[in-house]
Amino acid sequence: MRLSFIGGGTMAEAIIGGILEAQIAVPKEIWVGEVVKSRREYLSSTYGINAIDNNIEAINESELIVLSIKPQDVSSVSQVIQNRISNHQTVVSIIAGATINTLMESTGHSKIIRIMPNTPAQIGSGMSVWTASDDVDASHIELTKTILSTIGEEIYVYEEKYLDMSTGLSASGPAYVFLIIEALIDAGVYVGLPRDMARKLALQTVYGSAKLVMETGRHPGELKDMVVSPGGTTAEGVQVLEKYSVPAALVEAVNSAYLKSIRLGEK
Ligand SMILES: NC(=O)c1ccc[n+]([C@@H]2O[C@H](COP(=O)([O-])OP(=O)(O)OC[C@H]3O[C@@H](n4cnc5c(N)ncnc54)[C@H](OP(=O)(O)O)[C@@H]3O)[C@@H](O)[C@H]2O)c1
């Protein structure tokens, strides 16, 4: 079985890593069309896959053609591969904002899968939300599900509108969380902790808190209340977060990223 990627960047590498680790394909069955020579050399030497500068050759005879390029490169890549995609192939896009309709028009192909992954996919802890056009073969739906399971959790949705919403929350979300982690580390240093100790405390706190919500299944508000004792230290900290509108800022951040994803799709 042959699988191909156009664009051998961060996300493509994460998915390729998952495929190889789960032995869904062997390295020689994976083809990447990539413009940057140093990336091609890195991908070939690290994974033993075929990384070439010819996108038409890369997609030849592949079951899935994964478009893993930036949104601004969609039309130029589509122009090159359109009319080169055969009916047994499925185009899989991870491109932010690119709608199924846009992809159908630009590639001239009706079998399209649209995925919104995120960067923790690199360590098998990703979150992917995905959907497919009506024409996609059941076997390619299954194959995609299997591949996505190797890089973390996946949710299939029937309504494409959830892809833009997921972009705002789970695809952009790691950046929000990293920003919070960085601020917590700096805060620890500010009050006098050594930096490496502040880093360990911040990371284990974020990791442990997420795990506690997952494993208990309890509402985060309920778990928050359990930490906040009347007149205590945490109440002092939480009221500062409320005063600076941190919860409202997070809502605004997700909403802005969601609206940007819609705007990208309208271009
Ligand atoms: N990173 C995320 O968190 C994330 C999450 C969800 C979805 N996505 C989506 O995933 C897509 C890829 O993101 P990424 O972070 O992996 O990007 P990336 O690291 O920049 O990878 C894209 C790669 O494709 C190459 N490329 C550009 N034009 C090409 C062409 N015509 N033929 C072959 N290769 C070409 C790029 O080269 P140049 O650098 O020279 O352009 C780059 O090496 C984006 O559409 C993004 O919206 C990303």
pTM of the model: 0.93
Q: pLDDT tens for residues 57-107? A: 999 999 999 999 999 999 999 999 998 999 999 999 999 989 999 999 999
Give the pairing of strands 30-33 and 90-93. Answer: unpaired
The residue nearest atom 18 of ligand 1, judged by CA position, is: 9
pLDDT more than 70, % of the chain = 100
Strands annotated E in 1-99:
3-6, 30-33, 50-52, 64-67, 90-93
Both 150 and 40 in one domain: the answer is yes
Q: pLDDT tens for residues 138-190? A: 999 999 999 999 999 999 999 999 999 999 999 999 999 999 999 999 999 99
Would you say residue 163 lies in a domain? no
The preferred substitution site among 35, 77, 166 for testing ligand 1, maximizing ligand atoms within 8 Å of CB, is 35
Both 180 and 230 in one domain: the answer is yes
Tokens 């932010």 sit at which residue?
Answer: 96
- Asked if residue 119 has its Cβ within 6 Å of ligand 1, the reply is yes
Helix (H) and strand (E) counts for the chain? 12, 8
In this predicted structure, the answer to whether residue 267 has a pLDDT above a threshold of 80 is no
Q: What is the CATH number of the domain that holds 239?
A: 1.10.3730.10
Would you say residue 187 lies in a domain? yes
